């Protein structure tokens, strides 16, 4: 069934419930009790239809949700009014049964269960006391709910502060990682430069040693600035070796 069909089903069930509630005041007490039972069954049927209608709205687009959501609230208000009327009619039907066997039968010669002033006052006080007790229980439940709400809000506030601290710690960790990465890059560049310098120095040293050796052996072609004693000494040594 589509969403419009669900709404029509709820509206039809509410129409039948309203008609049944209007019919309760007609007939004898036994018939009225049966009619009240029928009202309860119809109210339960309306409740099931409303639940189905509410579930059907979950998959609707946003614009259709607003329209059908307003209808749902209207239907729920109608159901609430009907239930209140049924409760009042149930009370009206049950009251003569509770008082017909007492002093009302003696006060009324015909025994029709009509309440006198004293009995009506007692009944009103009884209803008022019951209402006060119910109100006290409701206030107690409200206070308990308020305490639970305050406790829940406190815990949520603590969790929010913890999440804030965790976020700040994460930001610090990210900043430290960036600094560490930058420092590692600087260290890597410095290490590369140190190795380059070492290699250049090694090559220069090797070149100097080779040039000194060549100059000492007199194989530099006289281009190197080497003292004559070293050059003559090495040259004389070579001549001696050649003569022998």
- Residue range 128-141, pLDDT digits in tens: 777 788 788 888 88
Residues 27, 65, single domain; the answer is yes
Report residue 207's pLDDT band, with 50, 70 and 90 as the boundaries: confident
43 and 90 assigned to the same domain: yes
In a domain, 64, yes or no: yes
Residue 242 has pLDDT above 60, yes or no: no
84, 100, 116 - which closes a domain: 100
| Residue 156 maps to a domain | yes
Residues 4 and 42 in one domain: yes
Distance CA 191, CA 29 (A): 104
- What is the per-residue pLDDT for 189? 78
Q: Are residues 75 and 22 in the same domain?
A: yes
End residue of a domain, out of 85, 100, 115: 100
Specify the CATH number for the domain of residue 51: 1.20.58
Residues 170, 91 share a domain: no
User: What 3 state SS string does 66-106 have?
Assistant: HHHHHHHHHHHHHHHHHHHHHHHHHHHHHHHHHHCCCHHHH
Please write the tens of the pLDDT for every residue from 178-198: 888 888 888 777 777 777 788
In a domain, 108, yes or no: no
Same-domain status, 139 and 227:
no
**Residue 214 maps to a domain:** yes
Q: How many domains does the chain have?
A: 3
Residue-number span of the structural domain to which 146 is assigned: 127-175
pLDDT, tens digit (0-9, with 9 covering 90-100), for 76-108? 888 888 888 888 877 777 655 444 444 444 434
Residue 199 has pLDDT above 60, yes or no: yes
Question: Considering only CA atoms, which of 232, 202, 208 is closest in space to residue 218?
Answer: 232
User: Do residues 93 and 142 both lie within one domain?
Assistant: no
Q: For residue 231, is it within any domain? A: yes
- 187 lies in some domain: no
225/231 Cα distance (integer angstroms):
10
* pLDDT digits 0-9 by tens, 48-76: 888 888 888 887 887 788 888 888 888 88
Rounded average pLDDT over 9-35: 80
This model's pTM is above 0.85: no
Residues 12 and 64 grouped into a single domain: yes
Give yes or no: residues 93 and 54 share one domain: yes
* Same domain for 87 and 14: yes
142, 153, 23, 10: which is closest to 73 by C-alpha? 10
Residues 131 and 224 in one domain: no
DSSP letters, the chain, are --HHHHHHHHHHHHHHHHHHHHTTTSS-HHHHHHHHHHHHHHHHHHHHHHHHHHHHGGGS-HHHHHHHHHHHHHHHHHHHHHHHHHHHHHHHHHHHHHHTTTHHHHHSTT------HHHHHHHHHHHHHHHHHHHHHHHHHHHHHHHHHHHHHHHHHHHHHHHHHHHHHHHHHHHHHHHHHHHHHHHHHHHHHHHHHHHHHHHHHHHHHHHHHHHHTT-STT-S---HHHHHHHHHHHHHHHH-
Count of other CB atoms within 10 angstroms of residue 60? 14
Residue 233 pLDDT grade (very low, low, confident, very high; cuts 50, 70, 90) = low
Angle at alpha carbon of residue 49, lines to 46 and 52, rounded to 5°: 155
Whether residue 213 is contained in a domain is answered as yes
| pLDDT tens digits along 143-156 | 888 888 888 888 88
Q: Indicate whether 241 pLDDT > 50.
A: no
Assess if residue 186 is contained within a domain.
no
- How confident is the prediction for the chain on average, in pLDDT? 75
Is residue 200's pLDDT more than 70?
yes
**211: pLDDT strictly greater than 60:** yes
Is 9's pLDDT higher than 60?
Answer: yes
Same domain, 87 and 26: yes
CA 36, CA 114: separation in Å to the nearest integer?
22
Cβ atoms of residues 124 and 95 within 8 Å: no
């Amino acid at each position: 069934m589509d969403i419009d069909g669900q709404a029509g089903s709820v509206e039809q069930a509410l129409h039948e419930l309203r008609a049944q509630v209007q019919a309760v005041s007609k007939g004898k007490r036994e018939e009225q009790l049966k009619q009240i039972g029928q009202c309860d069954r119809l109210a339960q049927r309306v409740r099931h239809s409303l639940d189905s209608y509410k579930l059907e709205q979950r998959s609707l687009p946003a614009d259709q949700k607003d329209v059908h959501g307003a209808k749902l609230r209207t239907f729920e208000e109608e159901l609430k009014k009907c239930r209140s009327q049924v409760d009042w009619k149930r009370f009206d039907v049950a009251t003569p049964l509770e008082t017909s066997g007492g002093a009302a039968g003696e006060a009324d010669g015909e025994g029709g269960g009509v309440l006198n002033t004293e009995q009506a006052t007692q009944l009103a006080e009884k209803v008022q006391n019951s209402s006060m007790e119910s109100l006290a229980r409701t206030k107690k439940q409200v206070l308990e709910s308020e305490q639970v709400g305050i406790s829940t809000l406190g815990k949520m506030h603590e969790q929010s502060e913890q999440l804030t601290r965790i976020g700040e710690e994460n930001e610090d960790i990210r900043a430290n990682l960036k600094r560490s990465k930058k420092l590692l890059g600087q260290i890597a560049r410095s290490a590369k430069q140190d190795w380059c310098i070492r290699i250049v120095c090694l090559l220069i040293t090797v070149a100097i040693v080779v040039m000194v050796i060549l100059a000492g052996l007199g194989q530099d072609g006289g281009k190197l600035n080497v003292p004559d004693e070293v050059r003559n000494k090495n040259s004389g040594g070579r001549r001696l070796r050649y003569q022998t």
